[in-house]
Amino acid sequence: MAKPLTVLKSKQMKDNKEPITVITAYDYPSAKLAEEAGVDMILVGDSLGNVVLGYDTTIPVTVDDMVYHTRAVARGAGSTFIIADMPFMSYHVSKEDTLRAASRLMKEGHATAIKMEGGTEIADEVAACVRAGIPVMGHLGLTPQSIHMLSGYRIQGKDEQSARKLMEDALALEKAGAFAVVLELVTEQVAAEISAALSIPTIGIGAGRGCDGQVLVYHDLLQYSSPYHPKKFVKNYADIGSTIRSAIEGYVKDVKTRQFPAEEHVFTAATAGKAAGPVYGSAKENG
């Protein structure tokens, strides 16, 4: 297995024009599969509020939620660079609160780095974390934690004023010590200009082809939801939701018609002394 990515190597990848691959994951099995597939970074996004916890926004997600899910991801992908989102209002009150929340994600969640939404207004908090030895990824453009202020999921950087603000924010994050910046739903031209201006990598999601890397949400990439809502910036690589639903329907039918369990699925006195093997999912074999 390849050595895990580091902050220094991510910078070298930008310099060498080698695209950086990032995917979200929220639990042990998704993280394990992502690592086996060879992604460079895993983001434990507060998007778990939408795709795992069933909230309409990311705002209800707590630090406890993030610690819990990050720890599970770390168990599944111990050789991958893992970034944990700082949830809403965990880094806006004071530097002390910011450091306290960030340290929990690092110490209890076993994250490699954290991610924070915002630009110049959070530069001091970013710098405080960096001084404490915590790598920070920034996040600009569409910032889901500010969804009510943004009045919905709108494309960013469509006019000169907003493009200039995005550039100022990106440069401020770099100066504060951020090792990378996510650009979400930013026009391709503006994202390319920001990527060229920064010495640190940009990771795009709906920000076009000029970014130094790309990130997609696990459940979007795999169409792992019901119903699935298509998104222009997402390429679907599978339809796992339909596959899962079909499989469960088959199980329900087999149980209802008494086709499961069949003879090969039951234990008898003759086989009772043998090890049953893994009991649940990917658990280690017993006995």
Q: At what angle do helices 123-131 and 95-107 cross, to 10 degrees?
A: 50
Q: Is 193 a catalytic residue?
A: no
How far apart are the two ends of the chain, measured CA to CA in Å? 29
Rounded CA gap, 193 and 227, in Å?
A: 36
DSSP codes, the chain: -PPPP-HHHHHHHHHTT-PEEEEE--SHHHHHHHHHHT-SEEEE-TTHHHHTS--SSSTT--HHHHHHHHHHHHHH-TTSEEEEEPPTTSSSS-HHHHHHHHHHHHHTT--SEEEEEBSGGGHHHHHHHHHTT--EEEEEES-GGGHHHHTSS--B--SHHHHHHHHHHHHHHHHHT-SEEEEESB-HHHHHHHHHH-SS-EEEESS-SSSSEEEE-HHHHTT-SSS----TT------HHHHHHHHHHHHHHHHHTT-SS-GGGS--TTTTTS-----STTPPPP-
Q: Considering 184, 193, 249, 263, which one is annotated as catalytic? A: 184
Q: Tokens 């910036």 appear where?
A: 233
Catalytically active residues, by annotation = 184
